[in-house]
Structure 1
Amino acid sequence: MLLKGKVAVVTGGTRGLGRAIAEAYAIEGATVVCASRRPGPADVDLMEFDQVDVADPDSAQRLMDRTVDRHGRLDVVVANAGVNHDGKVHRLPVDRWNEMVGVNLSGVFHCTRAAVGHMERQGGGRIVNVSSSMATRVAIGAAGYCATKAAVEMFTKVSAIELGRKGILVNCLAPGILDEGMGRELTGNDKVWAAYRSRFALGRPGSAAEAAQAAVFLAAEASSYVNGHVLEVNGGLLWA
């Protein structure tokens, strides 16, 4: 029960990695608000759903305010909501670029800004931003995703310095290829997986549950002197 008594908001919390983080937090004793644009299952004890569009600053603010109104506090925010649109730079539609910036980057800013006042009033809190191994590795056709995730990592480092004196620790989780979403598509294609498998030191992708345990660490007392850190969870990933 590493998070007993804590109240956590997880954006993008109804599926994939966000869902795994929400479940792990609930198992560790936290009351968890799974927030996303569309409803999803909340069938684990101490989990509930709330609707949010993180690209809208007012929506993000209402989410944090409602959480505090219902539960009296806000201890952890996991800014996990994200979108990805493939496309080389010269062919990527402007509206898809703008959506990635709005959700992946501005959404992290909006959630942080909306949470700070509540956390400061109660004496501190934790913010865990979710990046990707692609933040530091070139992937052809993924300029928007790579760029926004790289920006999230620098935003995390700056926020950590600015908010540390308020008792708010800000860190970043950067997962590699997981058995969810795009990762599942990769491993499910025998030809593609054969080309990628040699890049994994452990010979396999990670699980969402494994990455979620790192998110537990960043929210728990064990990480009380970890601030401004990007924690890569990729099993040893060679990216040529």
Structure 2
Amino acid sequence: MTGGTRGLGLAMATAFLDEDATVVCAARRAVPLAGLDGRHGDRVRVETVDVCSADSVRSLMERVMRRFGRVDILVSNAGVSRSGKIADLAERDWREVLDTNLTGAFYCTKYVVPCMEAAGGGRIINISAGMSSRVAPGAAAYSASKAALEMFTRASAVELAKKGILANCIAPGFVNTGMYEPLRDDERLRSRYERTMVSGRPGEPSEVAAAAVFLASGEGSYVNGHVLEVNGGLLWS
């Protein structure tokens, strides 16, 4: 679980732990997991990784294989957003968003494939966003990275199916954690975006986590190359 130490990543890690999975929460910095260590003992582990670095991702997979001997599920959740209209967007911000959100998922997929092949198959779940298919001024880098991630997921599904590896995407809408927090705390922005929520509320992290568990489970065994929107119905203009 990349980006697994806080926000949506931590919620998904918790959901997998509740299903008796063993979870490696990988992030740039090793931080305490809000009590998960004590509750789940050896079934949860924190590892450091920089998904923008191929060497770092390869090292992570090697460490996990040495410790556990297999990888069955990869959730590529690490992501960043940098706002800015195209004419003003800093080049370094563009690169950071694409490197993290898209290239990071590529590195994770590339280096997890041999691990999953050795296990006889596996599940890859990439975390996209509602803005992959909806235009918002100032979100060109983020939206482009997530739209590309969805096509990368479909390509992965086609290429990896014969290896027993399924690849799918989850595209959350507004979720009560992480990147939604600045909107939640800004009354003007919140009122603007609340009008797009058909269900009248943002989602809860547990609702997205449940979708991830489904895609990783036996019930999701015939779902491949799919982008699952978890957004309660999301209008846009």
Same fold per TM (> 0.5)?
Answer: yes
SS in 2 for 1:173: strand
Q: 8 Å contact 2:8–2:178 — kept in the other structure?
A: no
Inter-partner Cα distance in structure 2 for 1:23 and 1:41: 13
Aligned to 2:170: 173
Inter-partner Cα distance in structure 2 for 1:94 and 1:173: 28
Q: 8 Å contact 1:15–1:40 — kept in the other structure?
A: no
Deviation for aligned residue 1:68: 1.2
* 1:1-240 alignment, distance < 5 Å: 10-42=1-33, 43-44=35-36, 45=40, 46-240=43-237
Inter-partner Cα distance in structure 1 for 2:97 and 2:184: 25
Deviation digits for residues 69-126 of structure 1 (CA, Å, limit 9, x no counterpart): 1011100000000111111111111111111111110000000000001111221000
Structure 1, gaps ≥5 residues long: 1-9
Percent identity between the aligned chains?
A: 52
TM-score normalized by structure 2? 0.95
How many residues matched?
A: 231
Q: 8 Å contact 1:104–1:148 — kept in the other structure?
A: yes
Inter-partner Cα distance in structure 2 for 1:84 and 1:189: 17
SS in 2 for 1:50: strand
Inter-partner Cα distance in structure 2 for 1:15 and 1:73: 24
Aligned to 1:5: none
Inter-partner Cα distance in structure 1 for 2:85 and 2:191: 24
Q: Give the partner amino acid of 1:217.
A: F
Deviation digits for residues 37-84 of structure 1 (CA, Å, limit 9, x no counterpart): 011223321211000000101111111111111011100000000111
SS in 2 for 1:205: coil
TM-score normalized by structure 1? 0.94
Inter-partner Cα distance in structure 1 for 2:6 and 2:60: 18
Deviation digits for residues 4-46 of structure 1 (CA, Å, limit 9, x no counterpart): xxxxxx0000011111111111111100000000112233212
Structure 2, gaps ≥5 residues long: none
Inter-partner Cα distance in structure 1 for 2:93 and 2:180: 21
Tell me whether 99-108 or 36-45 shows the greater mean CA deviation.
36-45
Inter-partner Cα distance in structure 2 for 1:124 and 1:13: 22
SS in 1 for 2:195: helix
Q: Give the partner amino acid of 1:12.
A: G
Q: 8 Å contact 1:79–1:130 — kept in the other structure?
A: yes
Inter-partner Cα distance in structure 2 for 1:193 and 1:26: 33
